[in-house]
Each structure stands twice: as C-alpha cells, then as structure tokens.
Structure 1
Amino acid sequence: MHVIATAGHVDHGKSTLVRALTGMEPDRWAEERRRGMTIDLGFAWMGLPSGETVAFVDVPGHERFVPNMLAGVGPVPAAMIVVAADEGWMPQSAEHLAALHALDVRHGLLVVTRSDLAEPETAIELARSEIAGTSLGDVEAVAVSGVTGAGLDDLRAALDRLTGRLPAAEPGPVRLWIDRVFTVKGAGTVVTGTLGAGRLRTGDELTLGDSTVRVRGLQSMGQQRDEVTAVARVAVNLRGTPRDDLRRGDALLTPGRFRFAGLVDVRVHGDPVADLPAQATLHVGSAAVPVHIRPLGTDTARLRLSHPLPLRIGDRALLRDPGRHHVAGGVTILDVAPPGLKRRGAAAARAAQLTSMDAHPSLRSELSRRLLIKGADLAAMGVLLPTPSSEPMSPADAAAGQPVAGDWYADPDHWSALGGRLGEEVAAYAREHPLEAGMPVEALRHRLGLPDRILVTALVRPPVVVRNGRVVAGPTGAPDELVGLVGKAFDGLGAFAAPESYDLAALGLGARQVAAAERTGLLLRLTPQVVLRAGAVEEAVRLLAALPQPFTLSEARQALGTTRRVAVPLLELLDRKGHTRRLPDDRRTIGS
C-alpha cells in the first residue's frame, strides 16, 4: 500500500475528488456532510492500474482546521495538491504548501479540479511555479473534473507513476502516530494511523506512554489482518485499553526503541531563528505540542516541549505560530538528550557544536559528544548499533561498535584516557593510604566520574588487578615499604616460625601495619598473637601429605618444625578449610 495526503484550499474539491476516485465517502461526520466541507481527517483507498493500492488521507482545507490538516500530513510520504481551476492559487493553498515544505515532503502531484468550469492552464502554470521552489520541486500536473469524471483515468495513471517513485518503507521500529480514536461495540478501543515503518502483528506488545498495550486485532483497507507492513493505513484494536486513555498525537511504539524527549536541539528551515516567536506549536506526526523556543545559532534553537514526545535524531517536524496562522518553518531534530546550558558561554559553545551536526545518527559522532552511554539509549535516539544482520557501517562507527562493558559504549579516545587515569588514581591512593590494600572500587568510580562499577572493572589491566572489592597495583597491592618490613621480620626464620608481637613492633610492624599486611595477603593470622608469612597453608599441606596417614599433632609439629603455639591453630585452620580431617582419636588425615 501507498499513502498520500490531500492538500489545498477549502472547497477546492479535495473530498469530491477522493470520492470520485475511490467510490468511498471520506467525510465521516454528519456535520461535515451537512456543511459541505471537511472538518477532520477522512480516509479512503483504491486500486491503481498497476495493481498497487493507494490510501488517501483527506485533510480539511479551512484555515481554522489547519492543526487537523497537519495531523494527517505529518506521517505521510507524499501529497496530492488540489487547486480549483476557477479560483486558482489561494491562501490555504500557500499555507498547505508551506507545511509540506516544512515537513520536507518530496513526492507530490498537482491536480487541478473543476476543469469543466474554467480552463485549467492558468491555474496549473501558477501552482507549478509556487510548488517548484519547495521540497516537492517540479511536479506532474493533471486537470480533472470530479463532477463529469473527465481526466480521472489520467489521474489514476499519474498516481501510479507517483507511487512508483516513492521510497521503500523503512524496516525499523514501529511508531504509529494516532490520528483517530473510537470505540467499536464488542471490540473495544480502536486507533488509526499511518504506519510509516516496521510491521504490526496481532498479539504484539507496544508501548503507549508509560503503559504497555497489546494488539488485539488489525484492520487495513477494511479487511482483518494478522500482520500489516509499512507503509499502510491501519486500524489497531487494543486489548483492555480505555478510550479515555488515548488521544490524537499519542503514539504506539516498539518497546525500548524511542526516547521521550521534553527538550530538543533542532536545526530550523524557514524563518530566521532570531525572528521566531518565544512560543509556538510543534507539529510532528499527528501530535501538536506547545513549545518554548530558545535561539542558539543562526539556524539552530532549543525547544522545550510542554510534554515529552517519542522523538529520534533526524526526525522532521514543523513550527507554527498559531496566533499569526503562520508556518514558521520546518525543524530537523539534532539532539533528543541535549546538555544543560547553565555555565557562562555554554549556549555559544553549544551553537558552535550544533553547526557541525548533520542530523544523521552516527555511533561515532554520538560517542564523541557523550563519551559514555548505554546501547539502549543510543538505539532509542535512532543510532544504528552493529548486529550480525545490521547494515554496513562506516569505518569510524565500526571502530566504536563494540560495548566496553555490559551495554556501555565509550568513545575510544576517552576510554583510553580513562585507562591511563585509573593507574594514576590507584598509585596516588596508595601513597595517601599506605596501609590500605588498594583503592575501593566505588571510590575509584567517583574519582573517574563513571556511572557504573562495571566500567571500573573493565578498565583494569595488568599489573593492576581487582581483589576483594579493591583495585590494587602489582601482585599484592601492598606498598613496597610494607613488603620490605614483612620480609625483614621473617628473614632467617622457618616457614612456620611466628615472631612475637613485640619483635614485630620493634621492626615497625605495629597493629595497623600487621592488619594491612594481612589484608594484602603478606601475612596469615592464626590467632590475635600468631601470624605466619604468606604461603604457610599450601606449604603445610604439602609437608603433611608426605607423612604416614593418619598423623598425630606431635607428628605434624615435628614435620612442620614448629611449636604447639603455631601447630594447634594452624591444624584447626586446615580443618576448617577442608585440607585435613580430624578423626575421633584426635589424629588427622589429609583431605576430607
């Protein structure tokens, strides 16, 4: 299916033309038919000579209903601009064209109606000259009469040619902007919209604001469907969702793939930024949201939305000044999570940065600005992340394409600099706290300004290691001075000799130093007063395994060459660790 919106001045025959083409009544409301003009959006569809199907979003032409018109045009890739031959180009023709240009609609067709009432050439010439200077460019023109049917076959052929030029639908996530909400007896709440990307299936779970909703049923072109693929007009029956919870401008979304943004930086295409009003209305999809405008650069601004919308980098939207009934221009979303501007000079620096941003969500460029960010947040902004099935990426994106830890992505240069800083911070902490067994991971996280502990662990490289929640330099993490004191205390002693506390203190190993040596693994504490050098447990197991099994305490003491003061607590430690097993007769054997 292809979807085309009508556009043009009130009472120029848009609905009559759609009715003549499709045989369907696009004006749904009795009030519309009574007054003879479209008030809200209408929908109809038809088959083309090629076998393709085109659906029309028929929009109101009256100035008072421009917001309704914009809700219909917003998600649609092409437009059929309708001008009456007997009236020619009119004010709403110009405003509708300005809206299409602001939304960067690039595919269109000019249809001059009422050719039975006036010669169409003048109207065609003037309308094409107006259209030529916009994003639509040079469009094909067809003259018709909705009353007599003249030219309708030519129009069908022109529509076939137009739809043949439309780009293929994007395979991305679903963002269905809701343009109508109603209730069907026996089915419940139904919403309609133009599906511009992705596919919908019965049973899908979608996000609606903060809620999760389930698709109960789908309908397209009046037929029930199990699946609908973009581009298409679609009606979605939502399970268990009250009608009052929905309104035009809401969006059904693929979970986790969009970011609700209340503050965005944009590039403005239209009026000079300096001439924009402080307040305007932002139209995107079918939504219309009041915004406050803060100029930044010559063509860039910051918009503060009255309520957040699901926006992505590269989205196109429209700014309108409703007080002056004026389309101020289009905007392209450059950033959906912009930095604060509280410091002096921050606004000027941000304006300079925005100048180089092209609204194409690149992994490398986003990382260079954000330094560290989760992949889920990047994907919600519209950034393509590498997967086995993803499109080929630029060399710069591919170089930054792997997460550094968990779902965290990092700018390569920033990540390398963090690794260097980590070693410096650990060394500085060791100098400031010589008796501690390394720097606590959480303290190091704060010093490096990292948002997650796993990033600290991912940055660690030998000889720096993580041990017992601390980051230490070298095999033990102990200061050289402490290593030297312990070596001196045990110099010339056997593996199972335990120096007295006063001897240790005389060497500079007081209670704090001994505790630090124990934390770093330089010493093994058996009792408050008995410490051995590191490796005593492994050496004891080796020597005891050589004894005839089982063995007594006395035999163990002799094999270890130590005293009861050391042997008793050492054997008890071996029992607790499972290296030895104590028998009922107090003898022991190696192993359990």
Structure 2
Amino acid sequence: MLGTAGHIDHGKSSLIQALTGTDPDRLAEEKKRGITIQLGFARLELPDGRSMGVVDVPGHERFVRQMIAGATGIDVALLCIAADDGIMPQTVEHLAVLELLGVPSCVVALTKIDLVDDEWVEFMKDEVARALKATPYGGAPIVGVSSRDGRGLPELLDAIAGAAQHPVRSRETDAARMPIDRVFTIKGSGTVVTGTLWSGTVRVDDELEILPHGVKSRVRSIQMHGENVDEAGAGNRVAINLNAVKASDLHAGDFLASPGAVVLTDRFDAQFSYVGAQGGADKPFATGTRVHIAHGTREVTGRVLLMNGRAELGAGQSCYAQIRLDAPLPAASGDRFVARSYSPVRVIGGGSVLASRPRRRTTLSQDETALLDALRNDNVQGVCETALAMQRHPASIERIAADAGVEASLVREGLLGMENANKMLSLSETPGACLATRAVLARDVSAIENELLRFHAENPLQTGMPKAMLAARRFPHMEPDCFDALLKEAARTGRIVLAEGAVSHPSAAGGAKAAQEQAERAVLAALEKAGRTPPPIDDLLAGLDENASLCKKALGALERGGDAVRIDSSLCFARSVYDELEAAARSLLESAGGATASELKDAMGLTRKYAMPLLEYMDDRGVTVRDGDVRRLR
C-alpha cells in the first residue's frame, strides 16, 4: 500500500493521476474546490511488474482525521512537498502522523518543479533532507517531479519500487482484522466495504463480525485492485461484498474482523509519545489531559493517564500510559494510534497499543512493567513468561491472557510451547485448559493441605471438607475446571483424598473416619435388627447412641455403598432384608405370572404400610410392571 501525505495544494492528487491515470478525487465538491476531502484510491503499476494500492489523503488541516485514517496500514508513504512552497504546517503534521503510525518507508516527491529553476530544486532537496534527518525517514529518496510535463516520474516510480521491496506485514496467521474506510452499495450486489486488511486472510464465504455493532455477515465476493479474487491476505487493500447487512447501518470507522477475534475495550496501556503542540511546543503534556484518539478509521475522545506518578511529558518524550476512552475501540496489542488535542484540534502525539484490556491502574507492579517492556519490544516469549508469572493460581490460557490484558491469540502458541518444553505444567488433558508453574502448583497444594488440617481440627467428626467450601475459602476466583484439575493432581500425588464431593487430609481424618465407620456399623446393625418392619428413618437414627449428624452421613454412605436400600423419605431396609423381600415377590410372580398388591404383600409377609411403598419402589426400579391391579415381572 502506498499512501500520500503533505500540505494542501502540494500536488498529491495530480501526482497520483499522473502516475496511475486515475483521478482519486471522487466528489464533485473536491473537483470544484480543487482539494481532496475524502480518501481517494487508485492502483499503481510498478516497473518490475508488481502493483500497489494507493490511498490519496486530504492535506487541509480540517481533514487531518481522514489523513490519519488513510495512513493506517500503508507500507510506503509518498510525502509530497511543492518545490515552490517548501515544508508547510501540514507537512510537519503529516510527517508526525506517519511516524506515530509506524509507517516503515517514505519517498519524497518534490512536486511542481516546472514552476522553479534547477538551482532552486537542489536547494529545496537539501532543505527537505535536513528536515527529515531528525525523523525515522532520514536518508529517504527525494525525487523532483512535475505532474504537468512528466519530468521525474520514472525516477519516482523506481524509488517507490525500491521502498516497497520489503513491506512490513502484520502476522499472516492472525485472525482477519480490517478498519473500514468506505461503505457503499452496488446495484445487484448489495453492501460493499473497503479498507486495508491489517492481519489474517479473508476468503469468500467467510463469516465476519462488524464492530462495534456486533453484527455478523458472510463474504459474498472480494476484489483487489478492481479484480475478483477468492482470498486476500494481510497488507492488501480490499473491497468486500457483504450479505445480510444494509449500507445505511454501517459507517466508515467501523471494524471488520473474524468472529470473536476482537474485543472492544474502553482502555488500553500504551507507549505514548508527545511530539508537542503547534504554537506551543514547549508546553508539557499533563497527565489526565483530554484528547482525541484516532485508531484505524475511527476517532473517539478520551484521557491519557501517565504511569507511575509521572505528572507530565515534555515534547519529544515518551512513557507508558493508560488511555481511557469515552467510547470503546477494537484495539489490540501492536496497533498504532494518534492523539490529537481536544481543542483546538492538532496532532500532539500517539504511539502503540501494548495491553489492550488492562485493569484500571496507573501505578505498575514489577511484573506489569516487565510485561509492558516485553510487549513494547515485541518479545512474545517474554510476554508469555511474564503473563504466566503474574498468575497466582493455575489458569487457562484465556484467563492468563485476560489477567495480563492481552489477546489470547498473542500468547497461545508461546504458552503451549512452554508446556511442551516442560517450563510449566498442564493439569488438564485439554491443551491450554489449566496451566501452572511448578512453584505455583506447590504453593497451592500446600495451601489446600493447611486448609484441610484447619478444617479437621475444627470439625473432628467430619471426614472431609466439601469441595465447594474449600473453593470458596481458598480459591474463590479460580476457574472451576482448573480447581478440579488442581484437586486431581493433589490426590494423584497423595497429598489429599477425594471422595464423594469431599476433600480430606490423609493424615488428619483418621479419627473422623473411625467415628464414621463406627456410626455406619451402628446404623446397619439397627436396620438389620428392625428386619421387615423398620421404624421411620428419623426415629431409627434418634434411637442410636451416636452423634445424630454423623448417623445421617453414615446412612448416606451405606446407601451409596449398597448396604442399605432407601425406599422413600422415611423408609429404609438393610440390603439383606430387601433382597429377601424382592426374592419373595419374584418367586410368586414367576410361578403365577402376575399378582395383586394384596397377594404380594402376603407373599413378602408385610403389612400394607410397608408393602405399598416397597412395591412402588420395585415398579420404579423396573423389577415389576403394573397392569391395572396386577403386577408382573418386567
């Protein structure tokens, strides 16, 4: 992508028309006034056979916002400076925008050389070279051109081709992300959006999400440079025909992305640079200053809060800052933004997004500083290691990323690589579902042991602590799946005992287990003694010389173990007694083929009080089936 930049009336649009044969000024007002108001687009054929998309941006100070939108995502800037005018205010402002947005390459077109003599052209080249020396574009080629007579155009094309040899691309493997700069309707096709694809690949029939609306649409067709293609990769200018959306519902400034790939955020941590304000370059930038934030093709207002107690920044200085937005943006790590003063509106700074979803704070911990350092240096491995170190408990990749304020896609591959390299442990069979360092795992297992010892001391008759209670006390914010995985790992190594939803310490629950076993023996003996006519459960347990709560737990354990059979809420038989009753019923039904409730009652030697709930229980269990007043074996 090639994008123009420069002061108004320095010949940007004329030069693009001379180079491409396309007039980028589309609007009648643009042609009438002779200035560019909206972004214009064209296709440039290079001498080596390659082609570039061209974005022609406005130069008037009132349209700097459109210039920022046009500069987003370009590979080479074509800075136009009129030979008869020299460097002007918007030249400086556009140059600052290019630097803040990280545009990697620049070629200077010294336009309108037909209006000056050769000596003046050389003088202006020296002036421009000196001005660029203090910028990232020092040493950029400067080519004198005339759009009227064609002088210098071949040399300019060669310079552009050289600058475009090594374009900087977003990560090709990422999900698709594209800021929308135009929305329109084509008769017979429907809604079309255009923009420069920041990352990923878009294919026909892909489903995409439109932000901030949250609407999803499918790609009907794709064009690059006016030609239909099946797919488009990162760095290309594309036109995408969308289905099931109206052009009137979308706007320039909206964002197109793979579903779920982008989360809107109302704040982000950034490396913020202050370039100074025109007419007041010496005035420092104060923390909390209200500004306009331009990201992609959208601009919103917000405040810049400098980190670690810093009160202000001088011109040319930079530091970490948190940007608080009045409206959310689809910002992600690595994105560039430009800050403009609130009023009057001037470009004053900008920088790069580091953490896109941080917590609200301006004082950084040591880990948070290390994380921002790694993000600023594009050290993905450092980001992963620091994000993991910030976790105090086992967590999923999604939680690790969210707590660090970065996208899961940024750290997923690195974290899984650390797992494969045994630099951390995975507590789940699902890759990335529950990760922890050995130190974190050891600390959390020790915390569980200490909590269980305390519980057993306070509750000597309890054989174990309910899992939900342990989670609430020690790990209230841990993901449930990670908590279960942590318990399984602790049980695997013999540090805890897991049984029936309770957790116990292997060395401290002995007395309680002995008491529990004694209660179970007492309850079972009472049931066996009661035989075929047991009292209601509450009365049975109340008659025992044991702790009432312990007896209830004991009865539950007997039921789970199969030694007791609960018929309903108040009736329970010992297993041996129940088996005799069921055998008696089966014997009658096998010989007679069917029997009434009265006949079955007599066969089992029960009164109606006990027989009816028992027969209904056998119906529910599928032992018998009822047909009117008669029951048969199923």
TM-score (norm 1): 0.81
2:164 counterpart SS class: helix
Q: Is the Cα contact below 8 Å between 2:191 and 2:241 reproduced in 1?
A: yes
Rounded to whole Å, the distance in 1 between the matches of 2:242 and 2:476 is: 44
1:514-534 deviation line (CA, Å, top 9, x unaligned): 1021234587366768776xx
Q: Is the Cα contact below 8 Å between 1:42 and 1:59 reproduced in 2?
A: yes
Alignment of 1:425 onto 2:445: no
1:460 counterpart SS class: helix
Alignment of 1:185 onto 2:187: yes
Q: Is the Cα contact below 8 Å between 1:110 and 1:128 reproduced in 2?
A: no
Aligned equivalent of 1:519: 556
* Residue 235 (structure 1) shift: 1.1
Aligned equivalent of 1:560: none
CA 381–392 in structure 1, closer or farther in 2 if over 3 Å, else same: closer
Q: Is the Cα contact below 8 Å between 1:258 and 1:312 reproduced in 2?
A: yes
Aligned equivalent of 2:512: 479
Rounded to whole Å, the distance in 1 between the matches of 2:622 and 2:79 is: 88
Q: Which of 310, 318, 324 pairs up with 2:330?
A: 310
Alignment of 1:131 onto 2:146: no
* Residue 211 (structure 1) shift: 1.2
CA 57–279 in structure 1, closer or farther in 2 if over 3 Å, else same: same
Report the identity percentage.
29
Q: Which of 236, 242, 246 pairs up with 1:238?
A: 242
Rounded to whole Å, the distance in 1 between the matches of 2:163 and 2:511 is: 75
Aligned equivalent of 1:284: 295
2:390 counterpart SS class: helix
Whichever residue aligns with residue 264 of structure 1, its letter is F
1:218 counterpart SS class: strand
Q: Is the Cα contact below 8 Å between 1:375 and 1:385 reproduced in 2?
A: no
CA 249–477 in structure 1, closer or farther in 2 if over 3 Å, else same: farther
CA 495–414 in structure 1, closer or farther in 2 if over 3 Å, else same: same
Whichever residue aligns with residue 464 of structure 1, its letter is V
2:108 counterpart SS class: strand
Whichever residue aligns with residue 165 of structure 1, its letter is H
Aligned equivalent of 1:558: none
CA 274–64 in structure 1, closer or farther in 2 if over 3 Å, else same: closer
Rounded to whole Å, the distance in 2 between the matches of 1:48 and 1:215 is: 30
1:133 counterpart SS class: coil
* Residue 42 (structure 1) shift: 0.6
Q: Is the Cα contact below 8 Å between 2:265 and 2:329 reproduced in 1?
A: yes
Correspondence list, 1:295-334, <5 A: 295-297=306-308, 298=310, 299-334=319-354
Alignment of 1:441 onto 2:478: no
CA 504–10 in structure 1, closer or farther in 2 if over 3 Å, else same: closer
Alignment of 1:375 onto 2:398: yes
Rounded to whole Å, the distance in 1 between the matches of 2:63 and 2:427 is: 49
Bigger drift between 358-367 and 313-322 goes to 358-367
* Residue 510 (structure 1) shift: 4.2
Alignment of 1:194 onto 2:196: yes
1:416-468 deviation line (CA, Å, top 9, x unaligned): 4333333443454455455666444333332211354323221213242252x
Aligned equivalent of 1:94: 92
Q: Is the Cα contact below 8 Å between 1:132 and 1:139 reproduced in 2?
A: no
* Residue 31 (structure 1) shift: 1.0
Correspondence list, 1:571-582, <5 A: none
CA 351–185 in structure 1, closer or farther in 2 if over 3 Å, else same: farther
* Residue 254 (structure 1) shift: 0.7
Rounded to whole Å, the distance in 1 between the matches of 2:256 and 2:400 is: 19
Rounded to whole Å, the distance in 2 between the matches of 1:526 and 1:169 is: 66
1:311 counterpart SS class: coil
2:13 counterpart SS class: helix
Aligned equivalent of 2:158: 157
Rounded to whole Å, the distance in 2 between the matches of 1:235 and 1:26 is: 16
1:95-114 deviation line (CA, Å, top 9, x unaligned): 11111111122212122112
Unmatched tracts of structure 2, length 5 or more: 277-283, 311-318, 589-603, 626-632
Whichever residue aligns with residue 407 of structure 2, its letter is G
Aligned equivalent of 1:252: 256
Whichever residue aligns with residue 328 of structure 1, its letter is I
CA 264–526 in structure 1, closer or farther in 2 if over 3 Å, else same: closer
* Residue 506 (structure 1) shift: 8.3
Unmatched tracts of structure 1, length 5 or more: 342-346, 553-562, 583-590
Whichever residue aligns with residue 29 of structure 1, its letter is L
CA 16–122 in structure 1, closer or farther in 2 if over 3 Å, else same: same
Correspondence list, 1:322-471, <5 A: 322-341=342-361, 347-349=362-364, 353-354=368-369, 357=372, 358-359=374-375, 360=378, 362-369=383-390, 371=392, 372=395, 375=398, 378=401, 381-384=406-409, 395=418, 399-400=423-424, 404=428, 408-412=433-437, 413-433=439-459, 438-447=464-473, 448-461=475-488, 462=491, 463-465=496-498, 467=500, 470-471=501-502
Equivalent residues, number: 560
CA 573–98 in structure 1, closer or farther in 2 if over 3 Å, else same: same
Q: Is the Cα contact below 8 Å between 2:75 and 2:164 reproduced in 1?
A: no
Higher helix share: 2
Aligned equivalent of 1:147: 148
1:214-266 deviation line (CA, Å, top 9, x unaligned): 22222221122222222211111221212222112111011111121012122
Whichever residue aligns with residue 49 of structure 2, its letter is G
Aligned-pair Cα RMSD in Å: 4.3
